[in-house]
Structures are given as C-alpha cells and as structure tokens.
Amino acid sequence: MVKVQTVAVAIASTLASSIPALAQNSELAGVREEMKQLQRNYEERMQALEKRLTEAETRAAKAEKSAGQAEQSANKAEKSATQAEETAVAAGRRTGENAFNPAISLIMQGTWARTSQDPNNFFISGFMPSGGEVGPPKRSFGLGETELSISANIDPYFRGIVIASLSPENTVAVEEAYFQTLALAQGFTLKGGRFLSGIGYQNEIHQHAWDFQDAPLPYKAFLGGRYVQDGVQLRWVAPTPFFLEVGGELASGASFPGNDLNKNGAGSTALFAHVGGDIGESYAWRTGLSYLRTSANNRSFQDPNSLGIPVTNSFTGRAKVWVVDGVLKWAPNGNSTQQNVKLQAEYFRSEQDGTLTYDDLASAAPVFGGLTDSFSSRQSGWYAQAVYQFMPRWRMGYRYDALRYGSVNNAIVNNGLGPSAADFSLLGPYNPSRNTAMIDFSPSEFSRLRLQIAQDKSRMGATDNQVFIQYIHSLGPHGAHRF
Amino acid sequence: MKYIPAIIAVSLWLAAQPALAALNILACEPEWAALAKELGGDKVSVYAATTALQDPHRVEARPSLIARARSADLMVCTGAELEVGWVPLLQSQAGNPKIQPNQKGYFEAAMAVPLIDVPTRVDRSLGDVHPAGNPHLHLNPANIAKVASALTERMAQLDAPEAAYYRDRAKSFLERWQTATVRWEQEGAPLKGLPLVVYHKDLSYLVRWLGMREVGALEPKPGLPPTTAHLSELLSQLAKDPAKVVVRSAYNDPRAAAFIAERARIPVVLLPYTVGGTERAKDLFGLYDDTLSRLLAVTK
Ligand SMILES: [Zn+2]
C-alpha cells in the first residue's frame, strides 16, 4: 500500500518539478490541468485508502495504532505529492487523554479579606448552624481551597472523576469521587459515589466557577453551603426538542441538614426536574424544581444560653428542603465573547419536624439539665443575582440574598420546661440579609481576579462589612463549565 | 423515587415508537450542518448547534443543546479540541451512548485531514493554543472534500439501508465541488501573495490555500482579546511590512479591525468564515464564492 503511494508521489513530484521547464503558456496550462487531474485522482485514491484504514480501525481496536501510523505516512506521502506546505499530523491526535493517563487539572485559589466582624464566630441568626464551612474567609491573606481533579474513562461503560480538595489547614478532603455511565441508552445516566447533588441550580457548579466568592445565604443556612451526596443518582433527559430532565438520588444523607444515621437503607432522597431552552438566538434559560428529604439523629450544635454559657442542643427528626431555581443568560446573537448577562435566582423552603434536646449538663454551671421536647420549623430564603460582562475580560455583578425566619415551634420554650427563648440565642427570630457586589477581571480563560464587597447582616445586631480580593487560577486542560 | 417507574414506563413507550426515518444529525458548526445536508438530502434531519455569529471557541453547553444531543444519532464536529469547552458536557449530560467519543455517532472532521500549525511546544504562556493543530480546517476546499468522503462513509455505516443514497449524493457533491474548486483557484490567482492581517488563526487554511501572506494577527496571543498595546505594536510592524487588508470573521468584534484599518489606511474585509456568516454564504458553495469575491474586491 505504502509502496504504491511512494511511486505515485515520485511521479507527481517529478511532474511538478518539470513544470518550470515548459515555456509555452498554453502547454503550461495543459500540464497544470493534468497535474490537477492527477492530484484529484491521487486524492481519490488516498480517500479510498483512508476509508479502508478507517474500516480496519473499527474492525479491530488493536489495529488502530498501526492504522494511525499508516495513515500518518499516507498523509506524509500526500503532502509531498501535492507540494503542500508544512502540514503535519499531531502525534497523539488520535489518542485521547495522554494515551491512558487520566486528565489532570488543578485549581488554585486565594483571598485577601478585610471584615468588620470576626469571621471566626460567624453564625446565621435564627437558623440552626449547619456545621459546614459557611463563614467568610479568614482575615488578611489566606489560601483558598486547592482543587485537584482527575478524570478518565474507566472502560466503555463508565467514566470516573475524582476531585480532591486541599484545604489551607493542610487537610485533604474528597470533594467528589464518582463514576458515571457512558453507555446507558434512552437518555439515562447513572452516577454513583460522592457527588454534588442535582438539587437547585448553583449546587452542581463547582465553587471556583461561582460568580461570587461565597455561597448565597439560603445555601449556607439550609444546605451547609452546598449539598454533597454519598450515594447513587439516576437522571433522565427526555427526547424532546426542548430540554427536560428529571432525576433522583438515594444516598446516605450524612451531610447537613441530615447527619450520619448509622442505619440501613437510604438516609436521604432527592428529586429534581429541570426544563430549559432558547428564546431566539440571544437568550438561553433553565428552570427547575427540587426536593430533598433527609433525617437527622442528634445533630448537635453549640448555642450560648441567656448567661452566655455554651449549651449543647441537638435535633432529631426529619428535614425537607424545596428549591425553585431559574437562570437566564443573554448574549447578542448568542455570542458571549464581547458582552453577556447572566441572571440567576433561587428560592428555598426548609421544614424540620422532630425533637430538640437541650443539655447543659456538660457546662460549668448546669441549670436545667437535659430536656427534650418537640421542635418544628418552617423557614425560607432566596437570592437573586445579575452578572454583566460589559467588555471582554471584565464582569460586574450584584447579588441580594435574604432569609425569612418564618415560624419556629420550640416546645421546650412553649411548654415552659424551663429554658426561655433567651436560652436559645442562635434561634431567636431574625431575618438575615446581605448585599454583595463584585467586579472581576479574567486575563484569560484560565485566570481570574475578583474584588468583592458585601454588607452582611447574617448576625443579629452586627453588620459585617466585607472586602475580599480573590484569585482563581486553573492549570491543565481546558475546563468545560456547566450552563 | 416513586416517580422512577413512571419515568421508565414513559421512556420505554417513547422507545417503542417507530423511529423517524431521518438520521438525526447534530452539527457542532454551521459548515458541518451544511455538509451533512448536502450529503444527506431529505434522509437526514440536521440541527446546527452554533451560528456563524458565534465564536466556536466560546459556546456553552446550553440546555437546548443537551436536548438535541439526547436525540442525535450522529454528532458532526470539528474536533482537534475546538469544542473542548462544551461538547464533552453534551456527551456526559445527554444520556446518549451513541455520541460518546470513539463511538460511530461522534464524527470529528479533524480526523479526516492533516492539520496545520501543530505547535511544537504546548504551554499556556503562549495563549489558548490549539494543541492538536489548527482546527479551523473548513476553509480549504480540499479539506471539505476529504471530510465529505469520510462523513459519507460514517453516515452509510449508521444508516446502512440508505448507504447508496448517501454515496450517490456524495459523488454528485464531490463532482460539483471539484469543478467549483478549479474555478475558485483560477479566480483566486490574483490573491497570491496578498499580505493581510487576520483576527485569530481561524483563516489560516484559506490563507495557505490561496497563497496569501499573513503578516499579523489582532489577537496578541490565541484566545486573548486584542489589547491597545498589541495593536500599536502591530501598527509599527505594519509600517515595515505593510498589509493590503485586515480581514475578520463574522463573529469577531469589528472594533479592533477598524482601529488598525483606519491607522494603517487599509480596508477591512468582513469574511463570512462559515455558512450563514453573510447573506450570500447560504451553503458551502456560497461560502467560498462570497469569501473569494470579498477578497478579490480588494485587489481591484
Ligand atoms: Zn481557534
């Protein structure tokens, strides 16, 4: 096969080199036409050869490598035949992800922070603490989370992704580690392992791709910043011309608002549905409805009593969260390079039903001892944000987020078991809110610098004025970001 | 999870519906949508994920595209990592095994042609370089012919009963295409050696094919927007090695090109770049016709 080509190449190049020797213009044109004909024939032959190679490739995976080499030499031959300029076939273009090495990428982040309140005693008044890392970054210079992500196809059926998070405190956490099916038909995808839950809109977006440095208040208050599942997820995309997706998750439910239940069966159930599409060429949208049900068993938190002495409270019972989300993006003619706008809003409703235990026995001066009575809460929160890229590289954004205390029925207080409302200082009625503005500059698609200012009224009677400067850098392959 | 049985029931019902006769093709770029229509005629239904006014490097995996990818029998993309920011998401979110990488239902044009500008060194300090080589390969008619042959075979594989139909159409297309190529090469002869300034390396195949000379680019580095510093540097470079024209694609910002054109006293030529980029670029033939006539207007 290669020999035939070499001969053809030799003939073609001999012809080509003899062209300048011909004086007559008409003759020249004739020869040119012949040359073209020859080239065309040659190209057809090449195509036939390439076709055969392609077929060989599909027939046997083992043959792929040698076919690629043959094709490469075929290309080389063709190159000289057509007197083409230095064309080249990238070595390894036909092999994905460094042969069998997984794709590795790294996110580096850091902040400089100035806050008027101490970030170490951050809490959200009126709402049970999640125990998650929801507070502002530490003051002065600080390293953010460093994220290491490794992914590859496992085999023809599964893809595997691991995202490890290296904290500034020198600990390593498995942020996500899941497999996802490649070969389930009919729009189904199954995921298993640890993954960001599909509920809400922002929950599935990695923190480094958020438009603000921190999570909106309802995420902080109701999901501990974001909701991670250890379990399985099944999604189904409908065969419709617009986007319709439904999904469900069964998982351990170990993260807030649940906790480790140490029981058989699934601790949490999540259901979600998303609908989306385009409006003309300039708008794209998605909206969704999600439901999460999980349980807590002695999910404890520290709350100072009326004397300021920390008391251990714990909640046992059921927690439910509903989320309604929507996002609308605008770019002129769908070209986001120059200018674009992203509007995003989510509404959360949280319900907790169970019992609350008040236990000051461990404190220095026990007053009431251990008491348990029923507890239920109906609380809500929302945020809306707009981000505007007004010129290439530059974006500015504004976010308003707020929580509504709603109704909380704490029977320990209501039934007069002893402790008064003042002994649950974190749970006192309060509606937190916050105003946030940011401007960011992205020198390239791989780096971003952000200035964010916020007036945070999460804590009753203490407004926190915050200024953050943040950098987000990404190393490695070009990332693909979710809509 | 009580909805899961219902979901399964609905999807099984949908699966049992008689499949529509047409081969469902999702084309990543308009040039491949146009080519698929040429080859597939009325046996295919083609949806273009992007338009000529959208920068193919910066497309988002919009919900509507996930929906299209869900039902696609074949995705026709450029490959060579041009769509690295969005196609992998469509593949992972659509729940469609047919269009996964290395499956028959995922076709990459870059696999059918040799790429130019393969970087010898891949490092992000050089900008958002295309590590596999220049993926903007559709602006050389020989590449279109090669991709057409490879795509025809892929379509014939996927839709065996219509294989003869596709091959017939391909034969007719390639004949017309070769005649047109000869004509374009004759018409384009005066463009040989034409010095021009480009926006991005997205016209390199055209430049090489017609023997034009790229003397500068508005982007300081691939993927980075033009900066005033770079533009003034380019101007002083143009003072030594003048260009005859600044060309930009339909999806590029006009301002940087206008800036250079005004100061270097050379015209700006808007090129369609792909099908749909201008009124006349209605199909692949129109794309080349219009590109050539717009460039030739400068030499007159
Ligand atoms: Zn490019």
Q: Nearest to residue B134, comparing CAs of A96, A92, A88?
A: A88
- Asked if the structure places residue B91 within a domain, the reply is yes
Q: Which residue in B14, B112, B114 is closest to A88 by CB distance? A: B114
CB contact under 8 A, A187 and B96: yes
Contacts of A68 in chain B (CB under 8 A): none
Domain count, chain B: 2
Asked if B133 and A90 count as a contact pair (C-beta separation under 8 A), the reply is yes
Structure tokens at A98: 């460094």
Q: Determine the pLDDT at residue A7.
A: 42
Q: Do B32 and B109 lie in a common domain? A: yes
- Region B229-234: what's the mean pLDDT? 94
Is the Cβ of B280 closer than 8 Å to some Cβ of chain A?
A: no
Q: In terms of domains, do B195 and B158 share one?
A: no
β-bridge partners, A399: A385, A436
Structural tokens at position B67: 């929906």
Residue A151's CB is within 10 A of a number of other CB atoms, namely 19
Mean predicted confidence (pLDDT) in B162-188: 97
Residues B255 and B109 in one domain: no
pTM for the predicted model, two decimal places: 0.83
Give B200 Cα–ligand 1 centroid separation in angstroms: 7
> Is residue A332 pLDDT above 80, yes or no?
yes
Q: How far is B89 from chain A (nearest CA, A)?
A: 7
Contact residues, A window 109-138, toward B, CB-based 8 Å cutoff:
none
Is any Cβ of chain B less than 8 angstroms from the Cβ of A370? no
Q: Do residue B116 and residue A88 have CB atoms under 8 angstroms apart?
A: yes
B277 neighbourhood in chain A, CB within 8 Å:
none
Q: Could you tell me if residue B21 is inside a domain?
A: yes
The residue-averaged pLDDT of B100-120 equals 94
Are B34 and B131 part of one and the same domain? yes
Give the residue from B183, B210, B226 where a domain finishes.
Answer: B183
Domain that holds residue B145: 16-183
Residues of B in contact with A253 (CB under 8 A): none
B256 domain-assigned: yes
Residue of A nearest to B133 (CA): A90
Contact A479 B85 (CB under 8 A): yes
Out of B54, B67, B80, the one facing A93 most closely (by C-beta) is: B80
**What average pLDDT does the structure give for chain B?**
91
Residue B100 forms contact with A (CB below 8 Å): yes
- How many other C-beta atoms lie within 10 A of the C-beta of residue A86? 9
Q: Are B264 and B238 within 8 A, CB to CB?
A: yes
Residues B153 and B212 in one domain: no
- What is the four-CA torsion angle of B76, B80, B81, B86, rounded to 10 degrees? 0
Please say if the pLDDT value at position A250 is more than 50. Answer: yes
Distance from C-alpha of B46 to C-alpha of B56, rounded to nearest angstrom: 18
Q: What letter represents residue A424's amino acid? A: F
B144 shares a domain with B264: no
Decide which of B183, B213, B232 is a domain's last residue. B183
The answer on B228 and B84 residing in a single domain is: no
Residues of B in contact with A394 (CB under 8 A): none
CA of residue B132 relative to chain centroid, distance? 15
Set of chain A residues whose Cβ sits within 8 Å of the Cβ of B133: 88-90, 93
Indicate which CATH number applies to the domain containing B38.
Answer: 3.40.50.1980
Contact A285/B63, CB-based, under 8 Å? yes
Residue B231 and residue B156 share a domain? no
Are residue B144 and residue B288 in the same domain, yes or no? no
> Are B158 and B268 contained in the same domain?
no
- Residue B22: the pLDDT is 87
- Compute the distance from residue B198 Cα to the ligand 1 centre, in Å: 12
Q: Taking 90 as the threshold, does the pLDDT of residue A23 lie above it?
A: no
pLDDT at residue A73, rounded to an integer: 47
Q: Are strands B74-77 and B23-27 parallel, antiparallel or unpaired?
A: parallel
Taking the Cβ of residue B121 and every Cβ of chain A, the question of whether any pair is shorter than 8 Å is answered with: no
Taking residues A403-423, report their average pLDDT: 92
Say whether residue A158 is in contact with chain B using an 8 A CB cutoff. no
- With a pLDDT cut of 70, the percent of chain B lying above it is 93
Q: How far is the CA of A478 from the centre of ligand 1 (A)?
A: 13
Q: Is the pLDDT of residue B17 over 70?
A: no
Find chain B residues with C-beta within 8 A of A240's C-beta.
67
Q: Give the mean model confidence (pLDDT) for residues A341-366.
A: 92
- Dihedral over Cα of B237, B243, B245, B251: its sign: negative
* Count of Cβ atoms closer than 10 Å to residue A460 Cβ: 16
Q: Which amino acid would we find at residue A176?
A: E
- C-alpha B68 to ligand 1 mean position (Å): 24
In a domain, B11, yes or no: no
B102 touches chain A (CB under 8 A): yes
Say if B6 falls within a structural domain.
no
**Chain A interface includes B5 (CB < 8 A):** no
Residues of chain A with C-beta less than 8 angstroms from the C-beta of B11: 186-188, 236, 238
Instruction: For residue B121, name the pLDDT band (cuts at 50, 70, 90).
Output: confident
Best residue of A337, A339, A340 to probe chain B, by most B CBs closer than 10 Å: A337
- Percent of chain B having pLDDT more than 90? 81
**Chain A residues within 8 A of B199 when measuring between CB atoms:** none
With an 8 Å Cβ cutoff, is A337 touching chain B? yes
3-class SS of residue A58: helix
Split at pLDDT 50, 70, 90, the class of A42 is low
Residue type, B147: V
Q: Residue type at B202?
A: D
Provide, as residue numbers in chain B, all residues whose Cβ is less than 8 Å from the Cβ of A235: 93, 95
pLDDT for A32: 55
Do both B116 and B166 map to the same domain? Answer: yes
Q: Does residue B101 sit in the same domain as residue B194?
A: no
Residue A62's pLDDT band (boundaries 50, 70, 90)?
Answer: very low
For the CA atoms of B137, B143, B145, B146, the dihedral, rounded to the nearest 10 degrees, stands at -110
Query: What mean pLDDT do residues A271-290 have?
Result: 97
Percentage of chain A modeled with pLDDT above 90: 67
Which pLDDT does position A11 carry in this prediction? 41
Residue B4 in domain: no
Q: What is the separation, in whole angstroms, between the first and last Cα of chain B?
A: 70
Q: Cβ A250–B1 below 8 Å, yes or no?
A: yes
CB atoms B149 and A47 under 8 Å = yes
Radius of gyration of chain B (CA): 21
Average pLDDT (A259-275) is 92
Which of B143, B167, B183 is where one domain is finished? B183
Query: Between residues A137 and A38, which one has the greater pLDDT?
Result: A137
Residues with Cβ < 8 Å from A132, sequence gap 6 or more? A220, A223, A224, A225, A255, A256
pLDDT at residue A456 above 70?
yes
Give the angle B202-B207-B210 at the CA atoms, nearest 5°.
Answer: 145
Distance (angstroms) between ligand 1 centre and the Cα of B110 equals 13
Q: Which residues in chain A touch residue B15, judged by CB atoms under 8 angstroms apart?
A: 185-186
Instruction: Give residue A47's pLDDT.
Output: 61
Q: Lowest mean pLDDT: which of A229-233, A384-388, B20-24?
A: B20-24
